[in-house]
Structure 1
């Protein structure tokens, strides 16, 4: 596959042209990725005040005491979504489920510690440490190519 970029100072809108001899699964996947909409903002609440969170700000989303929270660099917000709903909305943004009660943003992961038997320790770049449950270890290892 060749990729070509042309710079045109008079261009007002980005245009993508795909040239191919036939429509293949690879072409369909490229078109699907390019045409998918931008990540949606997520409404989050703290101290009776609503805030719109960009998915790139979120480090992890977790359930605790029947409520769902989103953790960012500076604070933790309450979400009015179920965990599976948050997972569906954030799936395109590099989020992955690591346990029944938590999903993490892979772009915010500092490292994975594989020295623990039966689980994986996940260190996030904001200092939070969490663990992959045994049920999800194989999935995470496959995702990481281990």
Structure 2
């Protein structure tokens, strides 16, 4: 894919052009990404302090004792939203569901390892790990353009 940026001081608004010889999945994904209107900031609690962070700061989200927690580069924070609500507000191209109780930032993944019963164990750059339910393995493979066997 070729990317060009042109600065034209005579323009009053930003314009984005997608040029292709065919309308395919990649063109649609680019269009979808440009049209995403996801929340820019999140807030989580650590004891009595409310912390504000961006989606890029999130390593992964998980549930613990019916409470949603956000593991970030700055610490772990309790969220008031439910996991599915946060999933809807996160950039789809950057986050992936690992299981019924976890969502990961693809930019923070380091490696995968085969686990019991066809599931995967995912390791984060932070050194932590989570397990991927079999139900969500194909979704991850699609998002990271998995190559190879299995």
TM-score bin (small chain): 0.7 to 0.9
**How far apart, in 2, do the equivalents of 1:2 and 1:95 lie?**
25
Deviating runs (4+, > 4 A) in structure 1? 10-14, 24-32
Per the alignment, residue 55 of structure 2 pairs with 55
Per the alignment, residue 94 of structure 2 pairs with 94
> Structure 2: which 5+ runs fail to align?
none
Question: What's the RMSD between the two structures over aligned residues?
Answer: 3.2
Q: Kindly name which structure, 1 or 2, has the bigger radius of gyration based on alpha carbons.
A: 1
Per the alignment, residue 129 of structure 2 pairs with 129
Per the alignment, residue 85 of structure 1 pairs with 85
> Structure 1: which 5+ runs fail to align?
none
Query: What is the total number of aligned residue pairs between the two structures?
Result: 145
- 1:109-133 deviation line (CA, Å, top 9, x unaligned): 0111136551111000111111111
Query: Scaled by the length of structure 1, what TM-score is found?
Result: 0.78
Q: Secondary structure at the match of 1:107?
A: helix
Per the alignment, residue 18 of structure 1 pairs with 17
Against the structure 1 CA distance between its residues 113 and 46, is the aligned structure 2 distance closer, same or farther, given a 3 Å change threshold?
Answer: same
Bigger Cα displacement from structure 2, 27-36 vs 70-79: 27-36
Q: Shift in Å at residue 105 of structure 1?
A: 0.6
- 1:63-107 deviation line (CA, Å, top 9, x unaligned): 010100000123100000011111111143511111111111111
**How far apart, in 1, do the equivalents of 2:42 and 2:86 lie?**
9
Q: Secondary structure at the match of 2:111?
A: strand
Query: Scaled by the length of structure 2, what TM-score is found?
Result: 0.76
Q: Secondary structure at the match of 2:138?
A: helix
